[in-house]
Amino acid sequence: MEYTRLGRTGLKVSRLCLGTMNFGPHTSEADSFKIMDRALDLGINFFDTANVYGWKKGEGVTEQIIGRWLAQDKSRRDKIVLATKVYGVMGDGPNDRGLSAYHIRKACEDSLRRLQTDHIDLYQMHHIDRETPWEEIWQAMEVLVQQGKVLYVGSSNFAGWHIAQAQAEAAKRNFMGLVSEQSLYNLAARSIELEVIPACQAYGLGLIPWSPLAGGMLAGALQKAAEGRRASERIQQQVEKHREQLEKYEALCRELGEKPADVALAWLLHNPAVTAPIIGPRTIEQLEGSLRALEIKLSDEVLAKLDEIWPGPGGPAPEAYAW
């Protein structure tokens, strides 16, 4: 396994991040335990979850599964960098969501209880809260850091200007602010190259791409469809929308002798702004298969072909659309 620093911090994380969104809804608790065990064996030390995962309002199903796994062997906690998120709806009350100091405090306590730990290594804001001032958000996060309940703070689904705004306000308070941003990023979704990636690089944030395989579309969707495997209606629609591109993409992958999913991950890992793509395996086989991406080196010629098939916005702003 390869490791890299999380943004401008001294913290070392694996180049692949174990996403746990499938734990509970699609992967049984027993199989989730096996996947986490195997991830540790493979050297993956970066685990990502969220209080809303499990999709049963207020229950934090996935966090509970991770907590029970951690409780089985107390030594596991010190072997992983544990990341979770706050923002989503966790109850029926008006303050059971968002980034108010009130909700941040309660959500953190609830996550700690479910995860059966005394601290969260990376506490991420799952979305921007346009109704809560930064002075309130940062004060709440500062308290959690001072109490030792949170070590680092990250964002998710922020625009570039949100990152700039957050860091400017944190600097006023002599607070470290954000150390990472978790964004939708893959070959078929490259809009963050305009503003978000430049912001991350300018402010020293690690970039953690979610949905690196575009929900499975970049994992050989055409081949799987031909073999009769079922896919969700949403993926079927995406496949039809991008069929011409997918035909060229999967043909290029066959030419390279690599699986489409591995090439998609390798493309992300090639970007120096990327810390660790989030892989969300449902099975141990999917987990182990992801490691091949670490070994693939894409030539300039192949990267140029990928740009032709999956064109980005043209680079960072404003050069992408102005002189």
Residues catalogued as catalytic = 53
Give the side-chain half-sphere CA count within 13 A for 67: 20
Contact status, residue 27 vs residue 69, Cβ threshold 8 Å: no
C-alpha span between 148 and 217 (Å, rounded): 41
Beta bridge partners of 183: 209
CA distances from 192 to 158, 186, 230, 316 (A): 10, 10, 30, 9
Instruction: Take residue 18 and report the two structure tokens written for it.
Output: 């174990």
Instruction: Take residue 44 and report the two structure tokens written for it.
Output: 């993956």
C-alpha span between 1 and 13 (Å, rounded): 10
